[in-house]
Amino acid sequence: MFVSVPPKIAISDLVRGMKGRSSHKVRREFPALRRCYWGRRFWGRGYFATTNGAITEDIVLQYLENHIADPTDARQ
């Protein structure tokens, strides 16, 4: 995910909000998951964030588009 965040917003607040909203939407759309994650967290506790530094936004977007052709084929 490549996002632009104003400096007045803490990265931790942004990630917490994205995880919370997406978890809520997924659980609402797929109620069967409630049984699987009842009493547990839907997302992992951590996250990774970095800046794009000296490279341009176009380079980052090109990398993201070409990095994984099939989003379901995520490599670990």
The 8-class DSSP code of residue 1 comes to -
Alpha carbon distance 9, 16 (integer Å): 12
**Which residues 6+ apart lie within 8 Å of 23 measured at CB?**
42, 43
21 or 64, which is more confident?
21
Helix (H) or strand (E) holding 36: helix 33-37
Q: What is the pLDDT of residue 76?
A: 45
Report whether pLDDT(12) > 90. Answer: yes
Q: What is the mean pLDDT of residues 42-66?
A: 83
Q: What is the pLDDT of residue 47?
A: 85
Helix (H) or strand (E) holding 66: helix 57-67
pTM beyond 0.95: the answer is no
